[in-house]
Amino acid sequence: MPSIYEKYNLKQVINASGRMTILGVSTPRPEVVQAAMDGMNHYFEMKDLVNKTGEYIAKLLDVEGATVVSCASAGIAQSVAAVLVKDSDWLLENLHVTPVENNEIVLPRGHNVNFGAPVSTMIALGGGRMVEAGYANECSAAQLAAAITPRTAAIMYIKSHHCVQKSMLSVAQAAEVARAHHLPLIVDAAAEEDLQCYYRAGADLVIYSGAKAIEGPTSGLVIGKTQYVEWVKRQSNGIGRAMKVGKEGILGLTCAIEHYMTAEKESGAQMVAKMTPFIDALNGLNGVTARVVWDAAGRDIARAEIKFDEAVTRIATGDLVAELKKGEYAIYFRGYKANEGIIEADVRSVNAQQLEIVAKRIADVLNKEKHA
């Protein structure tokens, strides 16, 4: 029987970029796959399934409310719509037809990022109008508060490595501003690993990707205060209908969360041990220097930073990244700093043998350029 790669003529991937949507995010454990299959093979009253799994997840995480959505991006859109629509049946069905006066969503300017799609687009899908506070490299609690007007519906905070990290207020500080102005705080923590800290810091709604750190199926998780979660769930009869999650996603993610809370996770120190031979091999290449760096958003994630002296390697780093996708394996890195001659390798989704292949492939490309 041909493999899935052979059947559809797909290219095999070595994923040194991390849990990224463009590569299918993560590979769930067998128990999660089985839970998703159980979901596909049975019928349920979907409202009952949503409510009962939400209650189960809320107890696991010790939060007031929880619900599974189709993905973290949908969680942003539905959370924005929830704080605008609330209990209004008319707005639920006419959100983008009827002007909503108090529809401003305030977030730090450095949090208005493109994570694969713009944050502003998700806010607009939910009927909101984004208002940026502070500056691209700075946002204090006072600057956040200064952007609030009578038309403000909520404050949003994006917790992500994509965002500016320096001179930014914390989630707890944003929560204090929200409370002082009687506004809800929505935190997008899509790739974050702690499923409780932002809720405990005072957020009213917190959004996670089900397929990233949790390693569930394509899905999203929204947790928070009971009233706000109920308003999010109402969106299944509004804009959420276009982004509904299936029974397999609901049960798969619920199972994944259960295992995530008890399973031993790969530590940063273990990642360093795994990547050390890889870094040593790269440091033996002319014009290449590699070292361990830590996640910019503060997670316990170690990565290999690889810097190329383009005067020596005689190839632009962006071109090198493109070339590495063309071999027997499409090798993907984190290329956010390729314009500076720097890429990063995230080793969570690769094994030692794959890292050997990656190092050899880099050497082959550089050797080819040297003799071109």
Tell me, yes or no, whether 356 lies in a domain: yes
Structure tokens at 168: 């930014």
Least confident of 61-75, 83-97, 263-277: 263-277
Query: For the domain that residue 148 is a member of, what is the CATH number?
Result: 3.40.640.10
Can you give the pLDDT at residue 289? 94
Select from 208, 226, 260 the last residue of a domain: 260
Pair 37, 248: CB distance under 8 Å: yes
Does this model's pTM top 0.75? My answer is yes
Asked whether the predicted pLDDT for residue 175 surpasses 70, the reply is: yes
Q: How far apart are CA 276 and CA 212, in angstroms?
A: 24
Tell me, yes or no, whether 20 lies in a domain: no
Select from 260, 276, 291 the last residue of a domain: 260
Pair 339, 318: CB distance under 8 Å: yes
pLDDT digits (tens, 9 = 90+) for 108-140: 999 999 888 999 999 999 999 999 999 989 999
Q: Domain check: are 126 and 175 in the same one?
A: yes
Structure tokens at 83: 């704080």
Q: Domain check: are 35 and 101 in the same one?
A: yes
Tell me, yes or no, whether 17 lies in a domain: no
Higher pLDDT, 163 or 247: 247
Chain mean position to CA 104: 24
Question: Within 10 A of 15 (CB to CB), how many other CB atoms are there?
Answer: 25
Q: Total structural domains in the chain?
A: 2
pLDDT digits (tens, 9 = 90+) for 266-324: 888 999 999 999 999 999 999 999 999 988 777 888 999 999 998 889 899 989 889 98
Average of per-residue pLDDT across 162-169: 85
Mean pLDDT of the chain: 92
Question: Within 10 A of 1 (CB to CB), how many other CB atoms are there?
Answer: 5
Q: Which long-range contacts (CB under 8 A, 24 or more apart) does 21-24 make?
A: 21/116, 22/116, 22/332, 23/332
Structure tokens at 37: 């299959």
| Nearest CA among 146, 147, 114, 141 for reference residue 129 | 147
Which of 18-22, 24-28, 85-89: highest mean pLDDT? Answer: 85-89
pLDDT grade for 263, boundaries at 50, 70 and 90: confident
Can you give the pLDDT at residue 369? 61
Chain mean position to CA 246: 20
Q: Domain check: are 194 and 314 in the same one?
A: no
Q: Domain check: are 145 and 291 in the same one?
A: no
Q: Domain check: are 59 and 149 in the same one?
A: yes
Q: Domain check: are 271 and 366 in the same one?
A: yes
Asked whether the predicted pLDDT for residue 371 surpasses 70, the reply is: no
Q: What is the 3-state secondary structure (H, E, C) of 68-90?
A: EECCHHHHHHHHHHHHHHCCCHH
Q: Domain check: are 312 and 254 in the same one?
A: no
Tell me, yes or no, whether 13 lies in a domain: no
Select from 244, 260, 276 the last residue of a domain: 260
Q: How far apart are CA 314 and CA 81, in angstroms?
A: 51
Asked whether the predicted pLDDT for residue 34 surpasses 90, the reply is: yes
Pair 97, 247: CB distance under 8 Å: no
Can you give the pLDDT at residue 47? 95
Query: Which CA distances in Å does 112 have to 121, 165, 202, 295?
Result: 10, 12, 21, 20
Can you give the pLDDT at residue 123? 97
Asked whether the predicted pLDDT for residue 372 surpasses 60, the reply is: no
Average of per-residue pLDDT across 136-158: 96
Pair 107, 153: CB distance under 8 Å: no
Q: Domain check: are 285 and 248 in the same one?
A: no
Asked whether the predicted pLDDT for residue 206 surpasses 90, the reply is: yes
pLDDT grade for 367, boundaries at 50, 70 and 90: confident
Q: Domain check: are 230 and 295 in the same one?
A: no
Tell me, yes or no, whether 21 lies in a domain: no
Q: Domain check: are 297 and 236 in the same one?
A: no
Asked whether the predicted pLDDT for residue 370 surpasses 70, the reply is: no
Domain containing residue 323 = 266-370
Residue 49's Cβ-side half-sphere holds a number of Cα atoms within 13 Å equal to 19
pLDDT digits (tens, 9 = 90+) for 2-23: 788 888 888 888 888 887 777 7
Average of per-residue pLDDT across 76-87: 97
Tell me, yes or no, whether 15 lies in a domain: no
